[in-house]
């Protein structure tokens, strides 16, 4: 997998393209144009994110201080979010940051990789270009309509898809042109020929598809998606091409439905908090507040046997309760703890294994992005998810601490001297104000005092003010660069949401949900069998697709089934999120595994063996959380 937050900056992207085009004067002007387009998109995305933060901050001020809500703020913020996300998706595409499965293609010879890369660029252009065209048709049809509050045309919202998808198509074609040289013309012809042959075969077989009925779900949403993922096509475009093919060959619906469903997938008021929590995580890292929290934990328990392992687990839990971004959490903790753990004799494989498992453990700690997405997609109360999310995470953390203690005792790691109370006090002064933030976030949302979006907005202001008061300095340039990265990450997430929502429409309109419910009722062991199968499925999908696309696809299908079997929706949501978290950090496909290795600068082969005991503990914890409440309830009924 290629992670959306692999650390590439815009300057690095420009330098990379300049290096590629040395000695190719015909492509210099094209490269500069593409880089200029991406730079403008990056700046626009960051400015829109800043505008969204300012707008939502003003909305909070007017609502809670002046008692005069801005009734138009949510609608405007939603419009800004869609534009910011689509521009971020453009930047992420140019940087190669869109989520994709690269493990299989990376194992191939150079010529085969070049062939697949060209095929992926062709497919991306063939998907994004037509989608932009049909979005334009949709926008023209909406010109006479008005939104309820702002009273502007919905075409302004659809315009974000037109611009974003259109620019992605242009970038894909431009990159493809840059890659064509005299040495690889045969590879280029083979790539175009293969795509043309597949499209021609599909067109000739369209009558056969129309007679397959629901088997088309297997052909397009399993076969076609699986093939596209295997060749390395970004997951968002795998979903989009499957949705387009399904609508074109298996239904009588117009292709306009695909961009319309994509827009619906992004236009959700509950999703407004996602980019804000991403920005909050970046702010914590840049300000040094995350570093202060970790140092306080080291001073408190770092001297005991396995103490730094406890700090890593506890630090991950606290940071996950603030930033909502796993990459931000690891980037904040690893530079502080990893060198010291190595100095004390810890094995690199053990360090990365514990880091990855701790991230998997903390997936249900609010304000986890996957919890927010789950609530938005399935209709489960985000407040209820925030209220319950801490408990399974703490159970998994306790199991990890037991294993970490056992491993530390066996390895004979060195111990350090206990920190003085004076040092602990100094660290507490700068760290405690931020340590309370996770509990404030949970409490405010759970008690209904504020929404997740409002809490994220207040959190940004809170951390910014603390930084200026405590640190008395701030790197504003670095913050702006981080906002550009946050915009790109938002784009990666939201374009997956959009395309997965278009694909999920096919499942819903086919009536597959009722079929699935009937099958679930015949499973052996009833509810237990359903939960075990769900855990396995979400671990696999969490590894291959990651959590967000997996929950968008299967959430609307499986949650009604769980409810029909008497499983609480909140309980089932937490189990599925934990399972996806385990898959995310499970080799050989989990992107989180490779992200942890990259942050710690450790080769994946070194970690591959050491990580399994930690992931095994997480799996045991997931099973206990899954069946525990049901067992207790049954015992209570029997008693």
Nearest to 294 by CA among 320, 322, 315: 315
| 232 torsion bin: left (phi>0), alpha (psi -120 to 50), beta (else) | left
Q: Radius of gyration of the chain from Cα atoms?
A: 25
Q: What is the 3-state secondary structure (H, E, C) of 61-109?
A: HHHHCCCCCCCCHHHHHHHHHHHHHHHHHHHHHHCCCCCCCCHHHHCCC
Which 3 state secondary structure label does DSSP give 368? Answer: coil
Contact 617, 357 (CB under 8 A): yes
The stretches of 288-325 forming alpha helices (DSSP H) are: 289-301, 307-320
Tell me: the pLDDT tens digits for 590-639? Answer: 777 877 887 787 877 788 888 899 999 999 999 988 887 655 444 443 33
Q: What separation in angstroms does the CA of 347 have from each of 315, 332, 383, 458, 556?
A: 20, 20, 40, 40, 43
- Contact present, 315 and 334 (Cβ < 8 Å): no
Q: Which two tokens stand for residue 310?
A: 């406890």
User: Three-state secondary structure along 380-443?
Assistant: CCHHHHHHHHHHHHHHHHHHHHHHHHHHHHHHCCCCCCCCCHHHHHHHHHHHHHHHCHHHHHHH
CB 359 within 8 A of CB 428: no
For residue range 189-241, what is the model confidence (pLDDT) as tens digits?
Answer: 999 999 999 999 988 888 888 777 778 888 888 889 889 988 989 888 998 99
User: Are 55 and 12 in contact, with CB atoms under 8 Å apart?
Assistant: no
The reported pLDDT for the residue numbered 24 is: 40
Residues 6+ apart with CB under 8 A from 256: 134, 137, 138
Q: Check residue 191 and give its pLDDT.
A: 92
Among 417, 317, 390, 411, residue whose Cα is nearest residue 357: 317
At what angle are helices 512-521 and 547-564 packed, to 10 degrees?
60
Q: What is the Cα–Cα distance from 361 to 392, expressed in whole angstroms?
A: 8
Contact 556, 508 (CB under 8 A): yes
Predicted model pTM: 0.78
The three-state secondary structure class of 225 is helix
How far apart (Å, rounded) are the C-alpha atoms in residues 372 and 268?
11
358: tokens are 């701790």
Contact 284, 399 (CB under 8 A): no
Size (the chain), residues: 639
How close are the terminal C-alpha atoms of the chain, in Å? 50
Q: With b meaning 16 or more CB within 10 Å and e meaning fewer, what string describes 279-308? A: bbbbbbbbbbbbbbbbbbbbbbbbeeebbb
Q: Rounded distance, CA 580 to CA 593, Å?
A: 13
**pLDDT confidence of residue 551:** 82
Find the angle CA(212)-CA(217)-CA(223) to the nearest 5 degrees. 105
CB 558 within 8 A of CB 516: yes
CB 30 within 8 A of CB 621: no
DSSP state of 219: I
The residue among 549, 309, 502 whose CA lies nearest residue 415 is 309
Distance CA 59, CA 97 (A): 33
3-state secondary structure of 275: helix
| Helix/strand/coil for 625 | helix
Within 8 A by CB and 6+ apart from 600, the residues are 334, 338, 348, 351, 352, 355
List of the chain residues with pLDDT < 50: 1-26, 632-639
The predicted structure's pLDDT at residue 20: 39
Residue 615 near residue 360 (C-beta atoms within 8 A): yes
pLDDT at 117: 92
How far apart are the C-alpha atoms of 519 and 634, rounded to whole Å? 23
Q: Residue 146 and residue 142: Cα distance in Å, rounded?
A: 8
Q: Sign of the C-alpha dihedral, residues 584, 409, 320, 383? A: positive
Q: Helices 273-287 & 25-64, crossing angle to 10 degrees?
A: 100
């Amino acid at each position: 997998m290629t992670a959306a937050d692999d650390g590439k900056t815009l300057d690095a992207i420009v330098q990379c393209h300049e290096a590629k085009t040395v000695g190719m004067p015909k492509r210099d002007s094209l490269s500069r144009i593409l880089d200029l387009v991406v730079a403008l998109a990056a700046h626009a995305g960051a400015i829109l994110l800043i505008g969204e933060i300012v707008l939502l901050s003003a909305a909070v001020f007017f609502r809670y201080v002046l008692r005069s809500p801005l009734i138009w703020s949510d609608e405007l913020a939603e419009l800004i979010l869609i534009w910011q996300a689509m521009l971020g998706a453009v930047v992420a595409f140019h940087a190669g940051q869109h989520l994709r499965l690269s493990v299989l293609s990376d194992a191939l010879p150079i010529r085969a990789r070049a062939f697949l890369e060209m095929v992926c660029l062709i497919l991306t252009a063939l998907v994004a270009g037509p989608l932009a065209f049909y979005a334009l048709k949709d926008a023209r049809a909406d010109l006479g309509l008005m939104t309820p509050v702002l009273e502007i045309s919905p075409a302004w919202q659809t315009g974000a898809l037109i611009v974003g998808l259109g620019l992605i198509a242009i970038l894909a074609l431009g990159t493809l042109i840059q890659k064509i040289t005299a040495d690889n013309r045969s590879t280029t012809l083979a790539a175009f020929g293969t795509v043309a042959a597949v499209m021609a075969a599909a067109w000739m077989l369209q009558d056969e598809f129309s007679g397959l009925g629901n088997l088309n779900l297997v052909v397009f949403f399993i076969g076609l998606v699986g093939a596209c993922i295997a060749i390395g096509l970004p997951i968002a475009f795998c979903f989009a091409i499957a949705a387009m093919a399904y609508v074109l060959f298996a239904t009588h619906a117009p292709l306009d439905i695909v961009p319309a469903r994509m827009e619906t997938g992004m236009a959700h008021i509950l999703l407004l908090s996602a980019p804000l929590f991403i920005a909050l995580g970046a702010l914590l890292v840049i300000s040094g507040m995350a570093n202060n929290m970790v140092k306080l934990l080291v001073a408190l328990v770092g001297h005991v046997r396995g103490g730094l392992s406890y700090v890593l687990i506890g630090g991950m839990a606290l940071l996950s309760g603030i930033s909502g971004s796993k990459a931000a959490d690891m980037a904040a903790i690893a530079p502080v703890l990893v060198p010291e753990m190595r100095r004390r004799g810890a094995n690199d494989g053990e360090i990365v294994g514990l880091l990855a498992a701790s991230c998997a453990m903390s997936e249900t700690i609010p304000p986890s992005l996957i919890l927010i997405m789950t609530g938005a997609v399935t209709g489960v109360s985000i407040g209820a998810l925030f209220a319950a999310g801490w408990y399974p995470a703490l159970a998994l953390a306790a199991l990890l601490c037991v294993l970490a203690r056992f491993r530390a005792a066996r390895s004979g790691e060195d111990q350090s001297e206990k920190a003085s109370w004076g040092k602990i006090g100094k660290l507490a002064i700068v760290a405690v104000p931020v340590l309370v933030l996770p509990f404030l976030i949970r409490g405010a949302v759970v008690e209904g005092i504020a929404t997740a979006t409002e809490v994220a907005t207040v959190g940004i202001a809170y951390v910014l003010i603390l930084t200026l008061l405590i640190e008395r300095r701030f790197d504003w340039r670095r913050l702006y660069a981080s906002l550009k990265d946050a915009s790109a990450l938002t784009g990666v997430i939201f374009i997956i949401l959009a395309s997965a929502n278009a694909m999920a429409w096919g499942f819903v309109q086919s009536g597959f949900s009722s079929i699935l419910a009937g099958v679930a009722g015949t499973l052996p062991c009833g509810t237990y069998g359903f939960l075990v199968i769900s855990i396995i499925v979400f671990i696999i999908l969490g590894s291959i697709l990651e959590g967000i696309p997996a929950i968008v696809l299967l959430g609307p299908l499986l949650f009604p089934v769980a409810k029909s079997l008497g499983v609480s929706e909140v309980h089932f949501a937490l189990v599925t999120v934990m399972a996806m978290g385990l898959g995310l950090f499970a080799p050989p496909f989990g992107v989180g595994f490779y992200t942890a290795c990259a942050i710690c600068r450790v080769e994946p082969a070194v970690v591959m063996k050491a990580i399994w005991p930690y992931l095994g503990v997480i799996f045991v914890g997931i099973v206990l959380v899954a069946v525990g409440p049901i067992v207790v309830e049954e015992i209570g009924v029997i008693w």
